[in-house]
Structure 1
Amino acid sequence: MFDATQMFIVVAVLLTLVLFGTHIAVALGITSALGIYLMLGDVEVVLSFISNTAYEGIRDYIFAVIPLFILMGEFLARSGAARDLFNLVNRLTTWLPGRLGVATVLANAVFAFVSGVSIAAAATFSRIAYPEMKRFGYQRQFSLSCIAGSACLGMLIPPSVLMIVWGVLTEQSIGSLFMAGVVPGIVVVLAYSAYIVGTAILRPDIVGERKVALAPGAIPSADHMKHDDLGGTLFGTLLVVFLVCGVLGGIWFGFFTPTEGAGVGAVAALVIALIRGLRMKEVFEVVLSAGRSSAPLLLLLVMAQLYSRVLSMTGITGAVQSALLDTGLPAVAILGIMILIWFVLGCIIDSISIILLTVPVFAPVAAGLGYDPLAFAIIGILAIETGLLTPPFGILVFTVKAALPQENVSVGEIFRGSTPFWACLIGVIIAIIIFPQIATWLPNLGRV
């Protein structure tokens, strides 16, 4: 059994490696090996433990869900699904103040159902939505913050990569986690849309209503914008909607497991992409891209499982749990400490690394405090995503900047514009803490 000094050494080594920029998988592997060695003192046992964990992890059926969902998202992204979604939503909301901002949020929400990655959404809609906003006179800061803020939906709305990683680490049902993210995702969409519409009403100059030169008495409408054929746009969007409903509905009603649903979704997405004109050369490129994205994630998950086992074996998880529970602080204060840690880490490292580092420790603490595991998972994912909009290293802000090099915009400008979206996410986190049913209602409904 570990003593306090050995626990300190393991934690200190992990934090030092991470802070000095060591790849998170390498840091977790080194720390785990060190922990086993300090506990057992035998290199052969360390090597055997690592190899057995890697073998058991890679052969786990649930691991296939990550590359399959990534493949589904890549096929649909290459087929022009994101542009179709934006164009269609924009046409349907011509009556709404700030409609291009709302269209960006709604299109991001639907696109999140097939992409599962916030950074991909930020890069995609920077190139799709921003040129239209610019052409219609939207304030640059407002436009870019709409894109950065709404990209957070990619990790909250299923099939989220963060939810898959969280489910693997905590051995929770990935299907239930997917369902738990739907209603909070809708709440975030409504909060974002309310802010955009309110801003457009109170300050119409921000959304270009005083800048666009139109005929006397005319109002900006989708007819003034360059769109693809309406029939093709509607057809492409309906295919995506049917695919999303089929995959998530099949998982929810128990027709297939999340892994099987991901396989069905990947094949259906391939068919849609081929119908929309994707060539075989591009199919090969998509498969390679999905492989490049998935391989590091699988390595991370293997190392995370090893790290999680070592934490349990060495008693570090129990020690942290006891330390927090013995402080005498109320449960909500301890939850607040965990959320604050997620905020800080979100400013420094990527979302998946944050989950790998903290969830093996935080999840047992939350269970000991009596928090529902599904509600806690959604709170954690929201808190981590909030960090992606927080200076100085909010990665979504840097992604938007990198996607539009011709604009020569500063990250400070985007950070300032993203503050209201950051506040909306904080508001939803507080709402779920007070009313955990926001996250648990839909999964529990599926069990009835």
Structure 2
Amino acid sequence: MTGIEIATLMVGLLIILVACGVHIALCLIAASMTGVMLITGNPMVPVRMLQSTAFQFLRDYVFAVIPLFILMGDLVGRCGAAEDMFKAVNRGLRRIPGRLAVATVIGNAIFATVTGVSVAAAAAFSRFAYPAMRKAGYQQQFAVGAIAGSAVLGMLIPPSVLMIVWGILAEQSIGQLFLAGIGPGLLLTALLCVYIIVSVKRDPSLAPDVAPVATGLPSGPPAARSLSAAATPPAFVERAKENAQLPMTPHEWLGAGGIGALMLLVLGGIWGGLFTPTEAAAIGALGALTLAFLKGMTVRQVFGVFYDTAKITAPLLLLLIAAQMYSRMLSMGGMTAAVQGLVTGLDLGPLEVMLIMVVIWLLLGMIIDSVSIMLLTVPIFWPVANMLGFDPIAFAIVGILVIECGLLTPPFGMLLFSVKSALPGQGVSIAMIVRGSLPYVGLILLTAALVWTFPPIATWIPRNLM
């Protein structure tokens, strides 16, 4: 068999193994090592290649950025600073319709600047934003939809694990990708907030208005006032009256201000050229550790966070090693050149090729996680995008946005299960979360279309201010 035939056969084997439920890392290693052995005819070549790939890969300075950013986000989430920040944002939105849901979106956007994992944001906000919304009389599906839908901001607003993985696979500047995510991240945040406000204006029963609760009188048109009064539990109104008079404590301001300081330190350092992304991650992790101790975390709790970070990081690095092997096998077999030739032969335009990629990403998002989608597709799609002259930064952001949709699409939407597991005994079902988050999927795709149509949304900051 020729190299391209072997590579094609190995891609087929990979798809079959994934469909059978084999772990994606094992699928990638099995397919790549078998393919290299068949191409070279020497069983020792893939063994040596795996050894050299793992050694060169793990000792690379840039890969320290992954565990450090995950550690930073986990420390901030566990110490209670995320809840403090949510309270601060909520107090600043008193007259906004659906303010608790809007505060959840804005809170997720701010929290995203100190964590690169959406799952952490979904779990954290489920624990404190959902009870607050339910006590205020928010519709259950609307509440869980706002939490799950806005949690995707953690994968777009820097630092983002998906951006790090994309940068590694495509050999792009991680710092540039971080800065490229700011514009689309702010755009998506604005779209999510507008959606919530418009939805609540159209149907006030989704989120009763308890903003001016200190006076004891709901605001808005008569229909909205009656709905609000009917949907808001009297006990909550009494508690809200009391809480409206209570300022945030210094301890809570410490948590909220700490997140702001970390955001400025990490992103400002990268933006200003003071730190590389890896150095910024290390400084951010140290800052988060300091904040955790100031917020009262014990040494035992901090070591628990270290342990959990290691449990998240180790499988991710294994996946990246396996992806490097997979990419090398495709190159040895001539798969990249063959795909480029196929696209050229079909005479497809850039838009048609992009739509095909988007459909593949959306379909894969229903069965495997976001990182695995990147590992499978970027080694093939990236050379094609280069050949067609796609803007590399805009293409990366569009790809990340579309792949993010997989976090919300069943049956394998990670955020769906994160929200469900964080709310045991609350009567929340996966189907309810799916229905609530569907509008957010549409807004994510709209943002991707806008970035594709107007690339400066993503490219202006990294190309003019870096």
* TM-score category of the 2 structures, normalised to the smaller one: over 0.9
Kindly provide the amino acid, as one letter, of the partner of residue 200 in structure 1: V
Kindly provide the amino acid, as one letter, of the partner of residue 49 in structure 1: M
Structure 1 unaligned regions, length at least 5: none
The answer for the alignment partner of 1:423 in structure 2 is: 442
Would the aligned equivalents of 1:137 and 1:209 in 2 still touch at CA under 8 Å?
no
Q: Report the Cα distance in structure 1 between the residues aligned to 2:50 and 2:341, rounded to whole angstroms.
A: 28
The answer for the alignment partner of 1:408 in structure 2 is: 427
Kindly provide the amino acid, as one letter, of the partner of residue 167 in structure 1: G
Kindly provide the amino acid, as one letter, of the partner of residue 156 in structure 1: L
Note the alpha carbon deviations across 1:191-242, whole angstroms, 9 max, x for none.
Answer: 0000111111111111023999986535579655487834332232122111
Superposition map of 1:49-198 within 5 A: 49-198=49-198
| Root mean square deviation of aligned Cα | 2.0
* CA drift at 1:276: 1.3
* CA drift at 1:427: 0.8
Q: Report the Cα distance in structure 2 between the residues aligned to 1:187 and 1:416, rounded to whole angstroms.
A: 23
Kindly provide the amino acid, as one letter, of the partner of residue 89 in structure 1: V
1:381 aligned to which of 371, 392, 400: 400
Q: Report the Cα distance in structure 1 between the residues aligned to 2:311 and 2:216, rounded to whole angstroms.
A: 53
2:375 aligned to which of 324, 331, 356: 356
Q: Report the Cα distance in structure 2 between the residues aligned to 1:215 and 1:70, rounded to whole angstroms.
A: 43
Alignment coverage as a number of residue pairs: 447
Would the aligned equivalents of 2:95 and 2:211 in 1 still touch at CA under 8 Å?
no
2:284 aligned to which of 265, 285, 296: 265
Kindly indicate whether residue 303 of structure 2 is the aligned counterpart of residue 303 of structure 1.
no
Would the aligned equivalents of 1:243 and 1:268 in 2 still touch at CA under 8 Å?
yes
Superposition map of 1:251-400 within 5 A: 251-400=270-419
The answer for the alignment partner of 1:202 in structure 2 is: 202
Q: Report the Cα distance in structure 2 between the residues aligned to 1:413 and 1:239, rounded to whole angstroms.
A: 34
Kindly provide the amino acid, as one letter, of the partner of residue 405 in structure 1: P
* CA drift at 1:390: 2.0
Q: Report the Cα distance in structure 2 between the residues aligned to 1:214 and 1:233, rounded to whole angstroms.
A: 21
Q: Report the Cα distance in structure 1 between the residues aligned to 2:369 and 2:243, rounded to whole angstroms.
A: 37
Would you identify which runs of 4 or more consecutive aligned residues in structure 1 move more than 6 Å?
210-215
The answer for the alignment partner of 1:7 in structure 2 is: 7
Q: Report the Cα distance in structure 2 between the residues aligned to 1:417 and 1:75, rounded to whole angstroms.
A: 29
The answer for the alignment partner of 1:249 in structure 2 is: 268
Would the aligned equivalents of 1:167 and 1:174 in 2 still touch at CA under 8 Å?
yes
Q: Residues 114 and 366 of structure 1: is their aligned pair in 2 closer, same or farther, counting only changes over 3 Å? A: same
Would the aligned equivalents of 2:3 and 2:332 in 1 still touch at CA under 8 Å?
no
Worse overlay, 425-434 or 382-391: 382-391
Worse overlay, 282-291 or 90-99: 282-291
Q: Report the Cα distance in structure 1 between the residues aligned to 2:164 and 2:399, rounded to whole angstroms.
A: 13
Q: Report the Cα distance in structure 2 between the residues aligned to 1:212 and 1:442, rounded to whole angstroms.
A: 39
Would the aligned equivalents of 2:85 and 2:259 in 1 still touch at CA under 8 Å?
no
Q: Report the Cα distance in structure 1 between the residues aligned to 2:272 and 2:170, rounded to whole angstroms.
A: 22
The answer for the alignment partner of 1:217 in structure 2 is: 217
Would the aligned equivalents of 2:4 and 2:333 in 1 still touch at CA under 8 Å?
no
Q: Report the Cα distance in structure 1 between the residues aligned to 2:65 and 2:77, rounded to whole angstroms.
A: 18
Would the aligned equivalents of 2:116 and 2:159 in 1 still touch at CA under 8 Å?
yes
Kindly provide the amino acid, as one letter, of the partner of residue 299 in structure 1: L
Would the aligned equivalents of 1:250 and 1:261 in 2 still touch at CA under 8 Å?
yes
Would the aligned equivalents of 2:251 and 2:295 in 1 still touch at CA under 8 Å?
no
* CA drift at 1:389: 1.6
TM-score (normalizing by structure 1)? 0.95
Note the alpha carbon deviations across 1:137-156, whole angstroms, 9 max, x for none.
Answer: 00111001000100111111
Would the aligned equivalents of 1:91 and 1:222 in 2 still touch at CA under 8 Å?
no
SS of the equivalent of 1:159 reads: coil
Would the aligned equivalents of 1:204 and 1:210 in 2 still touch at CA under 8 Å?
no
The answer for the alignment partner of 2:258 in structure 1 is: 239
Note the alpha carbon deviations across 1:56-81, whole angstroms, 9 max, x for none.
Answer: 11111111111111111111112211
Percent of residue pairs identical? 48
Worse overlay, 14-23 or 205-214: 205-214
SS of the equivalent of 1:407 reads: coil
Q: Report the Cα distance in structure 2 between the residues aligned to 1:8 and 1:284, rounded to whole angstroms.
A: 45
* CA drift at 1:331: 0.6
Worse overlay, 184-193 or 76-85: 76-85
Q: Report the Cα distance in structure 1 between the residues aligned to 2:210 and 2:68, rounded to whole angstroms.
A: 47
Q: Report the Cα distance in structure 1 between the residues aligned to 2:404 and 2:75, rounded to whole angstroms.
A: 25
Note the alpha carbon deviations across 1:317-365, whole angstroms, 9 max, x for none.
Answer: 1111221232112111110110111111111111100010111111111
Worse overlay, 343-352 or 249-258: 249-258
Note the alpha carbon deviations across 1:144-179, whole angstroms, 9 max, x for none.
Answer: 100010011111111101111111111111010100
Kindly indicate whether residue 62 of structure 2 is the aligned counterpart of residue 43 of structure 1.
no
Structure 2 unaligned regions, length at least 5: 220-236
TM-score (normalizing by structure 2)? 0.92
Q: Report the Cα distance in structure 2 between the residues aligned to 1:217 and 1:255, rounded to whole angstroms.
A: 51
Note the alpha carbon deviations across 1:378-423, whole angstroms, 9 max, x for none.
Answer: 1111101112222333221222122112122222222122121111
Would the aligned equivalents of 2:95 and 2:212 in 1 still touch at CA under 8 Å?
no
Q: Report the Cα distance in structure 2 between the residues aligned to 1:366 and 1:423, rounded to whole angstroms.
A: 24
Q: Report the Cα distance in structure 2 between the residues aligned to 1:225 and 1:401, rounded to whole angstroms.
A: 29
